[in-house]
Chain A
Amino acid sequence: MLRTTLAGLRAHMGRLATTVLAIVLGVAFTTGTLVFTDTLERSFATQVMGSMERVDVIAFPPEPDAGTDPEAGPPSFGTAALEEVRGLSEVTAATGVVFGTAPLLDSDGRTLGAFPTAGTSVGGDVARYEAAEGRLPEGDDEVALSTLSAEQGGFTVGDTVSVLDPGGEPHDFTVTGLIEFGLEQSVSYRGAVAFAFGTAERMVEGDGFAEIHVRAAEGVPVERAVTAVAGVLDEAADVRSGQEHGESLASAAGADAAIMGTALLLFAAVSVFVSALVIHNTFAILVAQRQREMALLRCVGALRGQVFRGMLLEALVVGLAASALGTAVGVGLGLGGFALGSEYVVSGTDTPIEPVVEAVPVLAGLLVGTLVTLVSALVPALRATRVAPLDALRSSAVADGLEKGVGRARVAVGAALFLASGAVLALTLSTEAGTTGMALVVASAMVCFVGVLAVSPLLVRGTVRVLGWPLRRLGAVGSLAVDNTLRSPKRAATAMIALTVGATLITGYSVISSSMRVTMDAQLAEQFPVDYSISPQLSPDGEEAPIPDSVAAELESSPLISSVFTSRSASDENQVFVETYPGAELGTDIGNGEVEGDIGDVGAGSAAVGAGTATELGVGLGDRVELESAEGRVSLTVVAIVPGSGGLSGVTTSVTDFESLFPEVGAGYLYVRAQDGTDLKELTEVVDDAVADHPTLQVASAAEIRSEFDRVLETMFLVISGMLGLAILIAVFGISNTMALSVLERRRESALLRALGLSKARLRRMLGAEAVLVSLVGAILGVALGTLFGWAAGRSAFDGMLFALPAVEIAGFLAAAVVAGLLAALMPARRAARTSITGALASE
Chain B
Amino acid sequence: MTTIPPSITYADINEVVLRTLERPRPAYFLLLIGTLTGLLIGGVSWAIQIDVGLGLSGINHPIGWGVYITNFVFWIGIGHAGTLISAVFFLTRAPWRAPVYRAAEAMTVFAVLTAGLFPLLHVGRVWLAYWLIPYPNSRMLWVNFKSPLVWDVFAVSTYLTISVTFFVVGLIPDLASMRDSATGLRKLIYKSLSFGWNFSYQQWLHYARGYLLLAAFATPLVFSVHSIVSWDFAMSLLPGWHTTIFAPYFVAGAIFSGLAMVLTIVIPLRVVFDLKHIITDHVLQSLARVILFTSVIVAYAYTAEFFIAYYSGVDFERSLFYFRAFGEPGSLAPFAEKGKMGFAQIAFGIMVFCNVIAPLPLWRWKIRNNAVALFFIAILINIGMWFERFNIIVSSLMRDFNPANWGQYIPQPVEFGITFGSFGFFFTLFILFTRAMPSVAIAEVKEVLPPPYKYPENHHGN
Same complex for A and B? Answer no
- State the B residues within 8 Å of A (CB): none
- State the A residues within 8 Å of B (CB): none
